[in-house]
Amino acid sequence: MLAAKNACEQKGFGMLNAIEIAPKVWWVGGIDWNERLFHGYTTERGITYNAYLIMDEKITLIDTCKATFSDELVQRISQVVDPSRIDVVITNHVEMDHSGSLPVIHRIAPNAQTYASAGAGVKEVYAHFGIEATPVKSGDTLCIGERTLTFVTTPMVHWPDNMVTYSDVDQILFSNDAFGQHYATTKRFDDENDLCEVFKQAKKYYANIVWPYGMQAHRALEAVRGLELKMIAPSHGCIWRSHIAEILERYEAWTTYQTEEKAVVVFDSMWHSTEAMAREICDAFIAEGISAQLLDVKETHISDIMLYMCDARYVAVGSPTLNSNMLPTIASFLTYMRGLSPKNEQRIGLAFGSYGWAPLGPKQVYAELENAKFQLPVPVVTQQWIPSEENLTELQATVRTMIEASRA
């Protein structure tokens, strides 16, 4: 430990703090304050790569960090124990923001035994790093001394290899990507942070990463529901200890595709005609007692639109026509949406937009919503050139018809 400390100081680093989250259980991860994009999803609050060290008869490391944060990981471990003494490494997920530092740990502690999910996990660890891992399956246990770890595989939440690990003595679920948030903070627990922001980031994380796998995520939720939980420790963001029931309740709603009586109106516009239609549609929802969000794709990133859309029942999408097509910005949003939200039978859609001589853009939007399985109770709404007051008033009636049809 002293040697590692001296090496870090020689490199010009100050020592970074490991945080004891429970007796003999330490957070030793990395904090990425400046990352602002993850696979097309904006991370305006940064990212944490959470790794956990359990000091038992067998010293156990649960997950590692992105490779560029290997130094942080090793420094934090070194505050607790000489990293060469690690006996067990649990790889809950092989994606590189979780496992990128595994080769560094393997070099420092070559005798440590790595565990990963049977089949996909073992294969992926070897494919990425050439490291042999011991396979575990759901229900398998590993005694590390005072504690027994239990493994539950959670395939496709959100890779085939995913699993979670439960520590019986601590009653901590190391939940991998489930219940995570991309949220960089020095305060490790939900109750130490702005709770509104934590829940917002948890929802944005779900909407942009886990949402396509809602069915699988729900099965995983059912698998861990009977556990006694003092903490849920995800791979990203804050650890849940005071609001476990609330995040489980929200995951129940999200993973069963529940929607609320609210609307998102997504649009882009060239000369403000489609924008005028969008504003009228938004006002029409509000007039009917439905909260609505007006989202210009030029100003709101598509990953934030998914945050608002995640539990919205009504989704209106508008585009003018450009070169016989919808605007590329709207096409980009719809492509992103289709990948994340293939199940939309519970949503009510509306396609609209302006045109000069051929209403091809709005018609393409309608076709995309239809392909995405939205309910479409009214035809595509198109407007040539500039909408008049009469045209805008008609939009109010269209929205009322749409709402009434959805409630019938």
Q: Judge whether 197 counts as a catalytic residue.
A: no
- 8 Å CB contact between 179 and 171: no
Distance CA 401, CA 185 (A): 46
Question: Of the listed 35, 56, 63, 93, which one is catalytic?
Answer: 93
Question: Of the listed 32, 35, 63, 95, which one is catalytic?
Answer: 95
- 8 Å CB contact between 285 and 263: yes
Question: Of the listed 49, 52, 166, 205, which one is catalytic?
Answer: 205
Question: Of the listed 39, 345, 389, 390, which one is catalytic?
Answer: 39
| Structure tokens that stand for 368 in this block | 């995309």
Q: Judge whether 95 counts as a catalytic residue.
A: yes
Question: Of the listed 106, 182, 236, 243, which one is catalytic?
Answer: 236
Question: Of the listed 35, 56, 97, 280, which one is catalytic?
Answer: 97
Distance CA 71, CA 77 (A): 10
**What residue type is 135 in one-letter code?**
P
Q: Judge whether 182 counts as a catalytic residue.
A: no
Q: In 30-145, where do the E strands start and end?
A: 30-32, 37-38, 41-42, 47-49, 52-54, 60-62, 88-90, 113-117, 134-136, 141-143
- 8 Å CB contact between 184 and 47: yes
Q: Tell whether the torsion through CA atoms of 338, 340, 345 and 350 is positive or negative.
A: negative
**What residue type is 251 in one-letter code?**
Y
Per the document, the length of the chain is 408
Question: Of the listed 56, 124, 177, 368, which one is catalytic?
Answer: 177
**What residue type is 326 in one-letter code?**
M
Q: Judge whether 98 counts as a catalytic residue.
A: no
- For Cα atoms 352, 358, 360, give the angle at the middle one, nearest 5 degrees: 50
- 8 Å CB contact between 302 and 264: no
Distance CA 146, CA 170 (A): 10
Q: Judge whether 218 counts as a catalytic residue.
A: no
- At a CB cut-off of 8 Å and minimum separation 6, what does 357 contact? none
What angle, 0 to 180 degrees and rounded to 10, lies between the N-to-C axes of helices 244-255 and 214-224? Answer: 140
Q: Judge whether 177 counts as a catalytic residue.
A: yes
- Torsion angle of the four alpha carbons 241, 242, 247, 249, in this order, in degrees rounded to the nearest 10: 120
The pair phi, psi for residue 203, each rounded to 5°, is -70, -40
Q: In 321-380, where do the E strands start and end?
A: 321-322, 325-326, 348-355
Question: Of the listed 106, 158, 182, 243, which one is catalytic?
Answer: 158
Q: Judge whether 97 counts as a catalytic residue.
A: yes
Q: Judge whether 106 counts as a catalytic residue.
A: no
Q: Residues of 19-40 as b/e, b for ≥16 C-beta within 10 angstroms?
A: bebbebbbbbbbbbeebeebee
The residues annotated as belonging to the active site are 39, 93, 95, 97, 158, 177, 205, 236
